[in-house]
Amino acid sequence: MTTRKTSLIQLPDARALASRASERVLAAADSARAECGAFHIALAGGSTPRALYELLAQSGADFAQWHIYFGDERAVPPDHADSNFRMASEAWLARGGVPAAQVHRIRGELDAPAAAASYEEELAQSFGTREVPRFDLVLLGMGADGHTASLFPGTTALSEARRTVAATWVEKLAANRITLTLRTLNAARHVLFLVAGADKAPALREVLFAREGAPQLPAARVRPWDGEVTWMVDRAAAAGLRDA
């Protein structure tokens, strides 16, 4: 089975992108809660999603049945300036609404392999299965090099076929990261990529219009075996698509 559907939605700017993404997230939550009484969403890190998280915080939505996870984390404590958890907390989670026990943080303060093992166990407990967890929605960003989550080109985590969470050394950053693996990302029911900025345009073109047989950038390898992928991109990031 392959990705059921891939959609591309272009928005004028990052603000419009955040607004449309918040509508999509809230709709996905309503659908999941109606279907099975809970909504399991993995958040993206970096800077692009902050505006989305701020809109969710202001939405007045009922988060009581939401379970929040993270697609990746830097190997830093939760109060560190680089922490994805800190960014999401400041923009949304610390303002309340999501029960604390339903916010599943990657423990970046541990050494990376221990943090990965700990998160793998937390996912198994939270989803109630030793099989790969199937997120209702995974939010992802993309770097100018085509990385997504902390799956960077040329890193060991990209080839991890068994684990659901991996620790990975990222040479270009000279840093450890903890990340959901492609096995987990590709088990998702919905993946929503949020990509903004002119610097992403070359990678976005390569990911969406990869030449047959060309080596795939990490973001191009996110192809849920029974799920949908939506790319929400701003005009600047889409600049390379017009003549594709």
- Contacting positions for ligand 6PG (CB under 6 A): 44-48, 71-72, 84, 141-143, 147-150
Closest residue (Cβ) to ligand 6PG? 141
- Integer CA distances (angstroms), 140 to 100, 193, 212, in order: 23, 5, 24
First-last CA distance in the chain? 27
CB closer to ligand 6PG out of 98 and 142:
142
Residue 209 C-beta: closest distance to ligand 6PG, Å: 20
What are the DSSP calls for 2-46, one per residue? --SEEEEEEESSHHHHHHHHHHHHHHHHHHHHHHHS-EEEEEP-S
Residue 128 C-beta: closest distance to ligand 6PG, Å: 26
Contact 141, 195 (CB under 8 A): yes
CB closer to ligand 6PG out of 41 and 44:
44
Sheet holding 72-74, edge to edge: 72-74, 175-180, 165-170
Residue 165 C-beta: closest distance to ligand 6PG, Å: 14
CB closer to ligand 6PG out of 99 and 113:
113
CB closer to ligand 6PG out of 73 and 120:
73
CB closer to ligand 6PG out of 127 and 179:
179
Residue 181 C-beta: closest distance to ligand 6PG, Å: 14
Contact 220, 210 (CB under 8 A): yes
The tokens of 6 are what? Answer: 């891939």
The tokens of 129 are what? Answer: 């299965």
Burial group, residue 242, by CB count within 10 angstroms (0-12, 13-18, 19+): exposed
CB closer to ligand 6PG out of 45 and 133:
45
Residue 189 C-beta: closest distance to ligand 6PG, Å: 20
CB closer to ligand 6PG out of 31 and 145:
145
| Stretch (H or E) spanning 206 | helix 201-208
- Residues 43 and 71: their CA atoms lie apart, in Å, by 6
Residue 221 C-beta: closest distance to ligand 6PG, Å: 14
Burial group, residue 62, by CB count within 10 angstroms (0-12, 13-18, 19+): exposed
Residue 140 C-beta: closest distance to ligand 6PG, Å: 6
